[in-house]
Each structure stands twice: as C-alpha cells, then as structure tokens.
C-alpha cells in the first residue's frame, strides 16, 4: 500500500520511532511545528477518523492515552500541550493514515 506511515510502521522507510507495541507506534514528526512534536499512529491503516469503525473504539481511545503518557515523558504535561487530529484535505490532513499530533513545549 502506498502509505508513508504504513512504510514507517513496516520499517520500509526510517523514522525516529520512540515507542512501539502491537497496536501503536510513536515517532517524531519530520518537520516539527513545536518544540515537542510527536505523532501517535495506530498500526492499523485507517485513512482518517471519518473511516473509523465501531470496532476501532478501543484503539482510538488508546491513541489518546499513549499521547497523554508521552506528554508526561517529554515533560510537557504540566506546561500544557495540544492533541490534534486533522481530518481531510480541508482540515489540513496531508497523510491519510490516522494519527494524533502531540504538540507542546512552548514557554
């Protein structure tokens, strides 16, 4: 499948993966837009939240709890951060594999 995040998940292209389990990977955004900018990505290819199914409910919940954990690990938990999902071209989505942006680290 011609999906850049599937290729990262399958290690066909390299990225700075900082966490991985059977369902989720976390890696650094290649063009960070904040001092801390991580992407929390399900291994399952779901194009966007528009395509998520009832069966994905737990997986989507997990993305947010993993994001919360990495906010803590990267030290932005107390100062505050954003969790962002872009949906569709008009919503700024560039990679059509569901992901949550964790952005923080501003003063």
Smallest separation (angstroms) from ligand 5GP to the CB of 48: 9
Give the sheet arrangement for strand 36-42, strand by strand.
17-20, 24-28, 36-42, 100-104, 81-84
Residue of 1, 52, 41, 2 whose CA lies nearest to 18: 41
Residue of 63, 58, 1 whose CA lies nearest to 26: 63
> Which among Zn ion, ligand 5GP, none contacts residue 49 (Cβ within 5 to 8 A by kind)?
none
> Which among Zn ion, ligand 5GP, none contacts residue 93 (Cβ within 5 to 8 A by kind)?
ligand 5GP
For binding to ligand 5GP (CB under 6 A), which residues are involved?
4, 15, 27-31, 39, 86, 92-95
27 binds Zn ion (CB under 5 A): no
The two structure tokens encoding residue 100: 């949550």
Rg of the chain over Cα atoms, rounded to whole angstroms, equals 13
> Which among ligand 5GP, Zn ion, none contacts residue 45 (Cβ within 5 to 8 A by kind)?
Zn ion
Smallest separation (angstroms) from ligand 5GP to the CB of 83: 12
């Amino acid at each position: 499948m011609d999906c850049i995040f599937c290729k990262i998940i399958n290690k066909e292209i390299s990225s700075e993966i900082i966490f991985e389990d059977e369902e989720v990977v976390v890696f650094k955004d290649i063009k960070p837009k904040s001092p801390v900018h991580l992407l929390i990505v399900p291994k399952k290819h779901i194009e966007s939240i528009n395509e998520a199914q009832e069966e994905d409910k737990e997986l989507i919940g997990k993305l947010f709890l993993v994001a919360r954990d990495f906010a803590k690990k990267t030290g932005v938990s107390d100062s505050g951060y954003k969790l962002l999902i872009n949906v569709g071209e008009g919503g700024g989505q560039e990679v059509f594999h569901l992901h949550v942006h964790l952005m923080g680290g501003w003063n």
